[in-house]
Amino acid sequence: MSRYNAKEVEAKWQAAWEQEKCFEAEADSSKPKYYVLEMFPYPSGRIHIGHVRNYTMGDVVARYKKAQGFNVLHPMGWDAFGLPAENAARDQGVHPAEWTYANIAHMRDELKSMGLSLDWSKEIATCHPGYYGQQQKLFLDFLEKGLVYRKESWVNWDPVDMTVLANEQVIDGKGWRSGAVVEKRKLNQWMFRISDYSQDLLESLENLDRWPDRVRLMQQNWIGKSQGAHVSFDIVGETEPLEIYTTRPDTLFGASFMAVSADHPLAQRLAKESNQIADFIAECHQMGTSEEVIEKAEKRGVDTGLEVMHPFIEGKKLPIYVANFVLMEYGTGAIFGCPAHDQRDLDFARKYGLEVTPVVASGPDENPEIGNEAYTGPGKIINSDFLNGLEIESAKTEIIGRLEELGKGSATVNYRLRDWGLSRQRYWGCPIPVVHCEACGVVAEKEENLPVKLPEDVTFDKPGSPLEHHPSWKHVPCPSCGKEAVRDTDTMDTFVDSSWYFARFCSPRAEQPVEREKVDYWLPVDQYIGGIEHAILHLLYSRFYSRAMKETGWSHIDEPFDGLFTQGMVTHETYRSESGEWLLPEEVTSNDNGDLIELANGRPVKVGGIEKMSKSKKNVVDPGAIIDKFGADAARWYVLSDSPPDRDMEWTDAGATGAWRFKQRLHRFVVETVEKTGQTESVEPSEFSEAALKLRKVAHKTVASVTRNIEDLHFNNAIARIYEFMKALNEFDISNLADDEKWALTESMEIIVRLVGPMMPHLAEELWQMLGKEELLALSAWPAARPDLIVEDQITMAVQVKGKLRATIDVAKDEQQDRVEEIALAQKSVQNAIGENAIRKIIVVPNRIVNVVI
Residues between 652 and 681 with contacts to RNA, criterion CB under 7 A:
652-658, 660-662, 664-665
Considering only residues 86 to 115 of the shown chain, the ones binding RNA according to CB under 7 A are none
Among 495, 528, 545, 561, binds RNA (CB under 7 A): 495
Residue with smaller CB distance to RNA, 312 or 420: 420
What type of residue sits at position 634?
A
Among 116, 125, 148, 155, binds RNA (CB under 7 A): 155
Among 26, 240, 295, 739, binds RNA (CB under 7 A): 295
Q: How far is the CB of 131 from RNA (least distance, A)?
A: 14
Considering only residues 307 to 346 of the shown chain, the ones binding RNA according to CB under 7 A are 329, 343-344
Contact present, 827 and 806 (Cβ < 8 Å): yes
Q: How far is the CB of 330 from RNA (least distance, A)?
A: 7
Give the SS3 label for residue 35: strand
Among 5, 121, 167, 817, binds RNA (CB under 7 A): 167
Contact status: 164 vs RNA (CB under 7 A): yes
Considering only residues 372 to 401 of the shown chain, the ones binding RNA according to CB under 7 A are none
Q: How far is the CB of 62 from RNA (least distance, A)?
A: 22
Contact present, 304 and 270 (Cβ < 8 Å): yes
Beta bridge partners of 231: 244, 409
Residue with smaller CB distance to RNA, 237 or 594: 594
Enclosing H/E stretch for 511: none
Q: How far is the CB of 253 from RNA (least distance, A)?
A: 24
Give the SS3 label for residue 758: coil
What type of residue sits at position 286?
Q
Q: How far is the CB of 169 from RNA (least distance, A)?
A: 7
Beta bridge partners of 155: 185
Q: Could you tell me the CA-to-CA distances from 64 to 215, 711, 775, 777, 778 in Å, in that order?
A: 26, 9, 16, 11, 9
Strand 423-424 to strand 491-492: parallel, antiparallel, or no bridges (unpaired)? antiparallel
* Cα–Cα distance measured from residue 619 to residue 603, given in angstroms and rounded to the nearest whole number: 18
Considering only residues 602 to 641 of the shown chain, the ones binding RNA according to CB under 7 A are 611-612, 629-630, 641
Among 54, 117, 135, 189, binds RNA (CB under 7 A): 189
Residues 6+ apart with CB under 8 A from 535: 214, 215, 218, 219, 566
Q: Which stretch binds RNA (CB under 7 A): 104-112, 423-431, 696-704, 746-754?
A: 423-431
Residue with smaller CB distance to RNA, 212 or 685: 212
Q: What is the number of alpha carbons within 13 Å of residue 835 lying toward its C-beta?
A: 5
Among 71, 423, 489, 574, binds RNA (CB under 7 A): 423
Q: Which stretch binds RNA (CB under 7 A): 24-32, 274-282, 644-652, 674-682?
A: 644-652
- Whether a cis peptide bond, with omega within 30° of 0, leads into 451 is yes
Q: CA-based angle 437:157:463, to the nearest 5?
A: 75
Residue with smaller CB distance to RNA, 143 or 830: 830
Q: How far is the CB of 568 from RNA (least distance, A)?
A: 8
* Cα–Cα distance measured from residue 475 to residue 487, given in angstroms and rounded to the nearest whole number: 7
Contact status: 187 vs RNA (CB under 7 A): yes
CA gyration radius for the chain? 34
Give the SS3 label for residue 667: helix
Q: Which stretch binds RNA (CB under 7 A): 244-252, 462-470, 581-589, 646-654?
A: 646-654
Residue with smaller CB distance to RNA, 171 or 779: 171
Q: CA-based angle 737:738:742, to the nearest 5?
A: 65
Strand 317-323 to strand 257-260: parallel, antiparallel, or no bridges (unpaired)? parallel
Residue with smaller CB distance to RNA, 305 or 464: 464
Considering only residues 564 to 593 of the shown chain, the ones binding RNA according to CB under 7 A are 569
Q: How far is the CB of 852 from RNA (least distance, A)?
A: 8
Residue with smaller CB distance to RNA, 306 or 640: 640
Q: Which stretch binds RNA (CB under 7 A): 142-150, 209-217, 278-286, 548-556?
A: 209-217
Q: Which stretch binds RNA (CB under 7 A): 220-228, 331-339, 516-524, 678-686?
A: 220-228
Q: Which stretch binds RNA (CB under 7 A): 99-107, 162-170, 385-393, 756-764?
A: 162-170
Q: How far is the CB of 638 from RNA (least distance, A)?
A: 8
Q: Which long-range contacts (CB under 8 A, 24 or more apart) does 313-319 make?
A: 313/253, 313/385, 317/236, 318/233, 318/255, 318/256, 318/257, 318/258, 319/257, 319/258, 319/354
Q: How far is the CB of 720 from RNA (least distance, A)?
A: 3
Contact status: 357 vs RNA (CB under 7 A): no
- How many C-beta neighbours within 10 Å does residue 332 have? 19
Give exposure, 192-209, as e/b (b: 16+ Cβ within 10 Å): bbbbebbeebbebbeebe
Residue with smaller CB distance to RNA, 707 or 800: 800
Residue with smaller CB distance to RNA, 158 or 250: 158
| Count of residues interacting with RNA (CB under 7 A) | 102
Residue with smaller CB distance to RNA, 400 or 503: 503
What type of residue sits at position 658?
G
Residue with smaller CB distance to RNA, 53 or 534: 534
Considering only residues 705 to 734 of the shown chain, the ones binding RNA according to CB under 7 A are 714, 716-717, 719-720, 723-724, 727, 730-731
Considering only residues 764 to 823 of the shown chain, the ones binding RNA according to CB under 7 A are 796-798, 800, 802-805, 808
Q: How far is the CB of 696 from RNA (least distance, A)?
A: 19
Residues 6+ apart with CB under 8 A from 224: 415, 416, 417
Q: Which stretch binds RNA (CB under 7 A): 88-96, 127-135, 219-227, 521-529?
A: 219-227
Enclosing H/E stretch for 597: strand 596-598
Q: Could you tell me the CA-to-CA distances from 610 to 566, 571, 575, 618, 709 in Å, in that order?
A: 21, 6, 10, 12, 28
Q: Could you tell me the CA-to-CA distances from 148 to 153, 188, 347, 422, 733 in Å, in that order?
A: 14, 13, 40, 10, 71
Among 91, 172, 292, 369, binds RNA (CB under 7 A): 292
Enclosing H/E stretch for 773: none
Strand 564-567 to strand 163-165: parallel, antiparallel, or no bridges (unpaired)? unpaired
Residue with smaller CB distance to RNA, 542 or 680: 542
Mark residues 530-549: x for contact with RNA by CB under 7 A, - for none.
--xxxxxxx-----------
Considering only residues 111 to 150 of the shown chain, the ones binding RNA according to CB under 7 A are none
Contact present, 126 and 133 (Cβ < 8 Å): no
* Cα–Cα distance measured from residue 63 to residue 341, given in angstroms and rounded to the nearest whole number: 56
Residue with smaller CB distance to RNA, 390 or 588: 588
Q: Which stretch binds RNA (CB under 7 A): 19-27, 53-61, 82-90, 307-315?
A: 82-90
Residue with smaller CB distance to RNA, 83 or 411: 83
Q: How far is the CB of 71 from RNA (least distance, A)?
A: 29
Residue with smaller CB distance to RNA, 71 or 156: 156
Phi and psi at residue 155, to the nearest 5°: -135, 165
Q: Which stretch binds RNA (CB under 7 A): 24-32, 292-300, 479-487, 556-564?
A: 292-300
Q: How far is the CB of 612 from RNA (least distance, A)?
A: 5
Residue with smaller CB distance to RNA, 603 or 665: 665
Mark residues 269-288: x for contact with RNA by CB under 7 A, - for none.
--------------------
What type of residue sits at position 179?
G
Q: Which of 746, 758, 773, 766 is nearest to 676 (CA)?
A: 746
Residue with smaller CB distance to RNA, 143 or 627: 627
* Cα–Cα distance measured from residue 696 to residue 680, given in angstroms and rounded to the nearest whole number: 16
